[in-house]
Structure 1
Amino acid sequence: MWTDTHCHLDAPEFAPDRAAVVRRAQAAGVTQLVLPAVAAAHFEELRALAHATGSAYALGLHPLWLGGATEADLEQLAHCLQAWRDDPHLVAVGEIGLDHFVPGLDRARQQHFYRAQLKLARRFGLPVLLHVRRSADHLLQGLRQIEVPGGIAHAFNGSEVQAAQFVERGFRLGFGGTLTFERSLQIRALAQGLPETALVLETDAPDIPPHWLYRTAEQRAADQPQGRNEPAELPRIGAVLAALRGWSPAETAARTSANALAALPRLAALPVAPWPDCQEAVA
């Protein structure tokens, strides 16, 4: 049984067939999804979707969605974390973090919202789902100053030293579609060499497609659409990790799911299968 620790099931790309996406995931053996929020305006909808599908969810303000965010969004986040604190589906604060890859973003603004959300995670005793893009050192600086109950560094692509520092602070590291590319030498080396307790799997669906869904240069030139990533791809991504570690697929599913539970303890309160019939709820 596989756990997808990062899946944007509420994304508009899934609007045409969201229920079918969930069914395909379950048929593939993906028995738990974690759905991170990106903006305060989506909190209610995301929570309803998590309940409809038997999934877990996290609440937070994504660094790429901060353009129109205000202090009122932080207040709404605090209000929802308080109001829903006994909801077993709520497992983390996220997706939060820093993005130093996309040009033109206000880094000071990102820092303000990142630190404010770390304080909320600490206040409510929740782990965090971290967005890490060329920002690992700055994220770690915040974690040293504002301690939280661990979490997951999503789509990790930092150095071995940075990875060790996250692990020392109780974090697991998320590996997904990028792992499937043979040229991803550093990420593969990390996935192969890190302690087995540090590894969790994710899709970031509909984003970060594995190599078999990625457009080639020729396909991009011909304006062919890129294949949409979805949680049903997780076992195939996991097979790459299994090959790197010398594990069987079953061992890989069990170990990474156990790590997900260690990172997000409230997952233990949720059933892993079968999920509810969500045809009407998510159509």
Structure 2
Amino acid sequence: MASDAPVAARRITPAELLARKGGVPIVCLTAYTYPIARLLDPHVDLILVGDSVAMVLHGHANTLGATMDMMVAHGQAVMRGSARACVVVDMPAGSYEDTVANAVASAQRIFDETGCHAVKLEGGTAVAAQIAAIVAAGIPVMGHIGLLPQWVEKEGGYKIKGRSDENIAALLADARAVEAAGAFSVVIEGTMEPVAAEISRMLAIPTIGIGASSRCDGQVLVIDDAVGLTVDRVPKFVKEYAHLRDIVAEAAAAYAADVRNRAFPAPEHLFIPKDKA
């Protein structure tokens, strides 16, 4: 079956993103589908196939609904739709926390079955051994510290990090652990700005902020948030660059009116024999 894939181009690699530390900020957005990946690919350095797909496309209450099969399927779609950006796929909750061996096996499956360029997992000191083992297996890793969506049930909700001296010390330890384990970059989410800025200054690997600091080495947003498709509460850290939910709703309403009034389909949308035209 023919594929309308983008023309092949040289991919941005994790090593190149690592070398961007302190340089031109790294542009990252999430994507979960082939058409969105095609639209984003010319403009971003990194596409994250986030486990947020469980909420955004599958209607789950949080990211814990993401599965390995789900991440692999969406990772494959994004890889087909992109040719330039570095593609990172999230490891879903339950696929890496229990043992190092399970973490490596899960990362290897995602890496092999999607063809992505790196995997991402949440946590700092608690998963440093897993990060090191995955990197040793030849798979680049992006870390994720600060607010950890996969831990939302354990923590009783989404809680901004870096508010207390104790929590700041834990964040700094997590950042150092992720870097020492060999991650090529780290996402900092939902963290007080001065703390995120300090982590960015402290680390030799790039930091990617989301609700963190403008002084991070790059930024990431969920694409549906960024283009105004989110129908529930929009997080404080999001800037909406478009309002597609209004456009989609208006288009659906106009279509419904045309169908009910028999204005659609019109003759130009039909296949009419030439002798009847």
- Classify the TM-score, shorter chain: 0.3 to 0.5
What is the TM-score when the length of structure 1 is the normalising length?
0.45
What is the TM-score when the length of structure 2 is the normalising length?
0.46
Higher relative contact order (CA 8 A, sep 6+): 1
